[in-house]
Structure 1
Amino acid sequence: MSSRVSLSPRDLSMLRLLSWTPATTPLLQRASVTFDEGEFANERRLRERLQALSSAGMVRAWSTAQAGGGLQNYYKVTPLGFDVCHGTDAERPPRAFFAEVSASLFAHTFRLAEAIVETVRACHSRRVTIDRFIRENELAFKAGDRQVQPDCFFRLTSAERSFNLAFEIDNSMPSVDAHATNSIRQKLMTYQAYQEMLLSQWLAAGKKWERPRFRVVFLTRSVERAYHILTFAAETTPNKSRRLVYAATQESYVTDDRPLHTPIFLDHLGNWQSLIDLHPTAVYTKAPVRLTRPVDSPLVLVCQPRSKIEPLWRSRTGHHLHNIFSPQIPFTCS
């Protein structure tokens, strides 16, 4: 039987994050620095609050084994918690979103959760606005008979400029060169075709709206995998000067103090880039990397200072919604 609980702004912030991704206690503790009314003093206080929300039927916990031994809990928002956070009129995610994470998806799910939490923290610390967040499996880019679904999507705003980021959490499982539908080759070719479609529509309409730009952000387990993906992106892109795909190791992203603004990413030309670059004509002074297969050079984590047609956003129900790249559309957290 559910018990009553008085929700604080910090509770609502936590429910909002859990409506984006499941999270462990350490991840929620790290994210709490961004919560309204401030972070939790320690994990014990956090666990006490999670227990209260669980007793009220808004959060559910599961236990999982840790790599070093023992158990740890991870948490998901319940349908009731989702409704409290977003209102009863908001479309709920599918039932699987509220269910226990299957063993086969566990590593991917929590690497994605880690990336989401660090992105939220980075936005908070640098006063970057999250205009839009779209969960895994709820966004599809489609061009012709090709379709790809990023692991999550952020639309960020800084200094009145928008940055559209489609994240791909790479577990080194899909082949890069294979022709299978889930291969990196197919993903890259679909993203490239989609970008070409967006630009052609934008030009045909006389550039009447914001130039449709987005980045595909690969976070990999290894340097070699990142280089392999970027090398293939360079070989297959129809426009060598267009920087569509960035890649970095996940470790470099989640351990950097400023992961959105630090040039820890490489593009397909081997040049260092940041996800939020307010001065793109100024080149970073880090030496470019020659992308070849195989490679030996590591991704360096230390940076140096630097001298209307509607493209498709399709919901999981298959409906065509508004253009996510249009500045005229107001965005709310989903």
Structure 2
Amino acid sequence: MTEDVLLRQSVNVLDDVFYVYDERGELVFWNDRLEELFDLTADQLAGMTPMEFFLEADRPAVERAVEAIFETGEIVVEARANTTEGTILFELSGHRLTDDEGSIVGFCGVGRDVTERREQSVKLTAQNDRLSEFATILTHDLRNPLAVAYGDLEQYRSDGDEERLDLLGDSLDRIGRIIDDVFVIARDGRSVTDAEAVDLAAVARDAWDMVDTAAATLDARATVVVDGDASRLQRLFENLFRNSVEHAGPSVTITVTETETGFAVEDDGPGIDATDRGAIFDPGFSSSTDGTGFGLYIVETIAEAHGWSVAITESATGGARFEFTILPGDDDLDLVSG
């Protein structure tokens, strides 16, 4: 077996991409993994530059990395590419190659799929952030009702006024609601891993039946089917419906409709003050004296657990409009003609 054959067989057993570029930055040697991932022939691959493999947004970083290899000798950079196995985030290494006289003749390296590792890192960061939020909620938002409860208890002990017991009960009820909401956030904030096809209009109607909607009206006209967790999405709608009824009045009309990028829930009430929109999803934020301030925070948490984003805007009638965007690159959205 010749050295060339031995070398090729050795690099072809790698799960990673192996590549060699010449001093002009043109591809001259690679393993079979590169051909498999990009579905290109040897003739098509020969002479390609590193930038040509990656998404346009990541090409400048790859180009700078190539320049750095020739200047510093080694470099590591991350870049995304569309492959036969989907969009992959690669960790790319580069090592400068020189001849016996020290002249640069090119560089070699390995492209490793780190997509899953990065996703796990993002999830871990999100979980740590959530734990920090829980600590803030439990130390800040519980402190005030606890202080009020202790004050009412001491006052009752002092003068025996039984009205203080009613006020004490109100504070304990509020503490209980906060604890319930924190539990929901902890449970429903986890990434959705057991998604199934969900008819949003059907889930919205189920949520409507669970909320005290008084004389309000639901217009669930959306014909959107998404991949999601039905129970969590029902809770998302329940919180939105309660928010509309509480803030827009008992006769509000709430509409669930599809958009080009997802769906929206809007009402015909007075809307949300522009000065409050930046804080509307913050934990503990509430314009109501008896609310916990976690209803819309839970909505955002459930949306993010699905990989979606939510934004507050204004409906055509001036009411509140919550727009849910299923992020580009996901195949979760199926707009079904009604």
TM interval, short-chain normalised: under 0.3
User: Which structure's residues are more often helix, by fraction?
Assistant: 2
Computing the radius of gyration from Cα coordinates, the structure with the larger value is 2
TM-score by length of 2: 0.21
User: Which structure's residues are more often strand, by fraction?
Assistant: 2
Structure number with the bigger relative contact order (C-alpha 8 A, sep ≥ 6) is 1
TM-score by length of 1: 0.21
